[in-house]
Amino acid sequence: MADKMIITGASGFVGRQIVPILRAKGFDLLLVGREPKRLESLFPGIPNCDYANLAERGSGYDILLHLAVQNNHRNVSAAAFQAANVDLLLSLSKIAAQIGVRRFVNLGSTHAFAGNVDDAYGASKAEGERLLRETSTVPVTAIIAPAIYGTSFQGNLKIVERFPEFLRPLLVKILSLLKPVVSIPRLASIIADEARWYDDKTRSRIVSDDQQDNPVYLFMSRMIDLGVAVALLLLLGGVMIGVAIAIRMKSKGPAIFAQDRVGRDGKVFTCYKFRTMAVGAPQRATHEVGEVMVTDIGKFLRRTKLDELPQLLNLLRNEMSLVGPRPCLPVQRELVERRKAAGVLAIKPGITGLAQIQDIDMSNPQRLVEVETQYLALRTLMLDIKIILATVTGKGQGDRTAVDVQQKHNG
């Protein structure tokens, strides 16, 4: 038996392109809008109704997919944004509960997710999504999407239509270096997956095109990794030699610490750092090791992040990237499994990352993987550069010991 889905806003930019895909995926559809005659002309043969008749016509449907929004590229009043993005949303949530819909799927925006609430559009989207989470008695899936494109383009991607059709896929990949984008087919597949989850959990999911499938991003990212690695080795080679000498003078043992870490696709590689702990420290995650094991010079190296400099060799060997999830130990099984399930292990680990500049470490695997999953979805060359600059300017506190973690939780 096919799943039955109500779709609002089917005559809009996203709806016009996504309805045929969802129908082809086997959903029985009911299209809802202010102009049923227009819906009939766009999608002949698919049942439709206006909002006034939804409570009657929608009985027996499983999912309500809400696409009807007032978009930010339209020059409308704050009241119009409020009416479409808040009032209509909450009204539909009540109707969904009334007719027994088992899941409410709401298409949100990374514009509001990123905290851009200074404009009327962002403020209305953020308020609507917050109130929906707080008041809905139906399980909600918030699909948070960046700029959306399909066979046509709108908003900031409209410029792509000025170019010949054969160039457009390449131009989209180039533009996605600056901001994330998502294609209609990918969005439709994710909506279909979410619609067929039979549980009562409310959740959010950021969607975008996978940069692992973008050769332009992969090439540019690799060139930056190589350029930075070579430049720093040339500029800081003397500093690295000095650090190595200081470590040998201050404590017994080698200057370089080599340790197995979990890399891309779960493969183990040798990660290099300046040694910051006494020889014989247990092979555990840093946050599980007591502060007494950290040498005096090690504390300085961690605070200044100079202990990471030998990882430039890992960059040259293509085992790591400048930006990515910090590599963990093979014995950190909970973290490895969470990363595997979330797809985080699909990319190379990094010297720094989004979680690190937010001061989130491996002592909280669930929160760490949540942020790493956000990074996967929002990953662009521009975001990578922002993370690098934030790291250079001192955001994040380096690896914590067990004492640091306890102080943080108690503080």
- Per-residue pLDDT of the chain (411 residues), as tens digits, is 568 999 999 999 999 999 999 999 999 999 999 999 999 999 999 999 999 999 999 999 999 999 987 666 556 788 888 888 899 999 999 999 999 999 999 999 887 766 556 677 788 888 888 899 999 999 999 999 999 999 999 988 999 999 999 999 999 999 999 999 999 999 999 999 988 887 888 889 999 999 999 999 999 999 999 999 999 999 999 999 999 999 998 888 899 999 999 999 999 999 999 998 887 666 555 555 556 678 888 888 888 888 999 999 999 999 999 999 999 999 999 999 999 999 999 999 999 999 999 999 898 999 999 999 999 999 999 999 999 999 988 776 555 434 344 444 444
- What letters, b where the CB count within 10 A reaches 16 and e where it falls short, cover 243-259? bbeebeeebeeebebee
Residue whose pair of structure tokens reads 């014995």 in the numeric block: 331
Contacts 24+ apart (CB under 8 A), 213-220: 214/173, 214/176, 215/173, 216/170, 216/173, 216/174, 216/176, 216/177, 217/173, 217/176, 217/177, 217/379, 217/380, 217/381, 220/177, 220/381
Calpha distance 312→309 (Å, rounded): 6
Which has the closest alpha carbon to 221: 329, 92, 322? Answer: 322
Residue whose pair of structure tokens reads 């949100």 in the numeric block: 108
Calpha distance 20→29 (Å, rounded): 10
- How is the chain split into domains, by residue range? 4-209, 215-410
Question: Could you tell me the two tokens for 358?
Answer: 């937010």
3-state secondary structure of 303: helix
Class for the domain spanning 4-209: alpha beta
Question: Could you tell me the two tokens for 34?
Answer: 């202010």
In this structure, is the dihedral angle defined by the CA atoms of residues 11, 15, 18 and 19, taken in order, positive or negative?
A: negative
Calpha distance 152→125 (Å, rounded): 24
Calpha distance 194→297 (Å, rounded): 51
Which has the closest alpha carbon to 7: 54, 49, 65? Answer: 65
SS (H, E, C) 96-129: HHHHCCCEEEEEEEHHHHCCCCCCHHHHHHHHHH
3-state secondary structure of 395: coil
Say how many C-beta atoms besides its own lie within 10 A of residue 158's C-beta: 13
pLDDT at 73: 55
Question: Could you tell me the two tokens for 388?
Answer: 């690098």
